[in-house]
Structure 1
């Protein structure tokens, strides 16, 4: 299938970060479809890339490539024949937009000198990119997970520039349990002997700590039911490359451990540890109501259409969080639909069950939020086969 993708990097000039610091910012992005068509901005999740559909260039491997391939493309819910689709890598990441691993003015990587990053910085950098592309109004902004926070932040910051918002598997803020687990993930990285003060470029990288952090993340993305069905207590077919835990002598290597180990190993090959720290911090600190008295006040100026999609098995971004977002939109002039999807997959459902996400997104784009049904019955649309074979994608 031809996606007609164009990859580029735009320099948006001097960029002042919300928590302090300023630098010359490059924003890497991918475009699909023709610019004269209505523009849909797609916001990627925590460790995603701008390559939302189709194959990615060399160096962008695993689930960072084509992560929503079932939703974006010719004839798909976000139809690249009808829409001009843009997806931009966020500041602080490591897929082409300026981040800690990027070369600074002194010719060395920024490392720990990179400014602190917020979801608001992501939104503002995307707005600057769209200015460069000559896009004044977004037909829609669509995002899942922290990309969903990015999407609702658009409705908060630029309500006059957005006609439709789809916030999928997201919340207005993280709860204490997720904040605690993300804290443990960061500690795993910063306590790695190879991390030092974060200036590890050119030497050993803190891959051990990053791998532990990613194991924690993957456990957060799955529900109890999905882990039971996917792994249970089964013994793994493969053996670990090395096993230094003395307590493991005489005991089996289980399937769930194999899954977490394999994904952690692959992740360290494609992602930067500092970037993971910066992006996790942006996720943790996002609060829709920041600088406002309530979530509803933050979204009071948005008068477009809003779709919120939640999954019953998602304890990372639970249904209650989606309901809070929907109620905040409903308090203002927006047209709102909150689709609650019965699913046991956990947070990963927004990626691995495109048949649950595609139909409401298509309806939002073609007919508006009021046309989206809010039934809790599972969709059975045959056009989007469940993607659950092999390894589950990264959120």
Structure 2
């Protein structure tokens, strides 16, 4: 059983202090609600509510917006929709059905543009809590998410600790480091320096496609690892037949157009056709601003009220959200006696691993939902784990059974 809908939550006050008269939230649900089996899935930066495959799905969206975790969520999959009532909601500020900069401001009868209030990860969590209230869901069996969706998960644990039984935070961190902050800043400036951006009010004219394309290309470099890029592209030329009709610089007609350039151009073209430049500005700001310890003395204090179970997953080739950053969250949880495990996956796919390696991501999540963090001794997947009592203790084989 699946549901695809939009709900009007009425007036919404953002943590910035600004408010809008109406917040519409696009969401999807999968499975039947039995009262204690609800699982909230939090999407990543440019994802949508469409987390799993639906019989009635169309081709209106692509990339992460289109069944972005379809190999993890679904009947018989790691997050089994025959067992759990799965909810995924598009976050405020996005452009996939939930109110954001491209939505119509009812007071001005035109798109908000940059008049839309600043958005934070905390606003996402608060909107999700209100949606769940409308759906009749109280305490969640689990909340799960990857990347900035994992930050969303951590925010649930500090903001609504009594409402979550189990949490899975995949490829995430308590905050971004300076290198990622810098790259996000350059990406945003690629958008705002595009002449068509027009201060964010471009919806009646040409859109800042070139700026958004460059921003997304920077993002893709962040999502891949050195080894995965070497394996995929190396220094190979894409071939003369793929050289663009309009070279980006005068020398481009002499030097080779490389496969890595072709890949970035292809990904940028796809992204520009499906995403809004202002939403990219807003959502990257929300990710950059997130700090688990904000308002608390430390990360540990932020997690202290959570008495459920927390599973962290990280990937060795991920330099966007590193193994060390996940381990820092695990260490903070241990300081306040939160039941926590950190599963480290050997992977050279970089940050994209949480999307492209479901065979490694899914089994630990399945184990978390079914059995919690109990009885873990031997791993058969090449992953390692840090737990409350052991450094990099192996993981129970039953966690990875298929």
Alignment match, 2:33: 35
Question: Is 1:191 matched up with 2:204?
Answer: no
- Please show how residues 87-98 of structure 1 align to structure 2 within 5 Å: 87-98=88-99
Regions of 4+ moved over 6 Å? 380-384
Q: Is the 8 A contact 1:355 1:383 kept in 2?
A: no
| Structure-2-length-normalised TM-score | 0.91
Q: State the distance in 1 between where 2:314 and 2:377 align.
A: 13
Aligned length: 381
- Please show how residues 1-395 of structure 1 align to structure 2 within 5 Å: 4-23=1-20, 24-36=22-34, 38-54=37-53, 56-105=57-106, 106-237=108-239, 238-372=242-376, 378=382
Q: Is the 8 A contact 2:197 2:208 kept in 1?
A: yes
1:148-178 residue CA offsets vs partner (Å, 9 max, x unmatched): 0000110110000000000000000000000
| Structure-1-length-normalised TM-score | 0.93
Offset of residue 241 of structure 1: 4.9
Q: State the distance in 2 between where 1:371 and 1:186 align.
A: 46
Offset of residue 370 of structure 1: 3.1
Q: What SS does the corresponding residue of 2:341 show, helix, strand or coil? A: strand
Q: What SS does the corresponding residue of 1:326 show, helix, strand or coil? A: helix
Q: State the distance in 2 between where 1:241 and 1:130 align.
A: 50
CA RMSD of aligned residues (A): 1.8
Q: State the distance in 2 between where 1:263 and 1:376 align.
A: 35
Offset of residue 252 of structure 1: 1.2
Offset of residue 63 of structure 1: 3.1
Q: Is the 8 A contact 1:211 1:268 kept in 2?
A: yes
Q: Is the 8 A contact 2:73 2:80 kept in 1?
A: yes
Q: State the distance in 2 between where 1:257 and 1:132 align.
A: 46
Q: State the distance in 1 between where 2:261 and 2:248 align.
A: 14
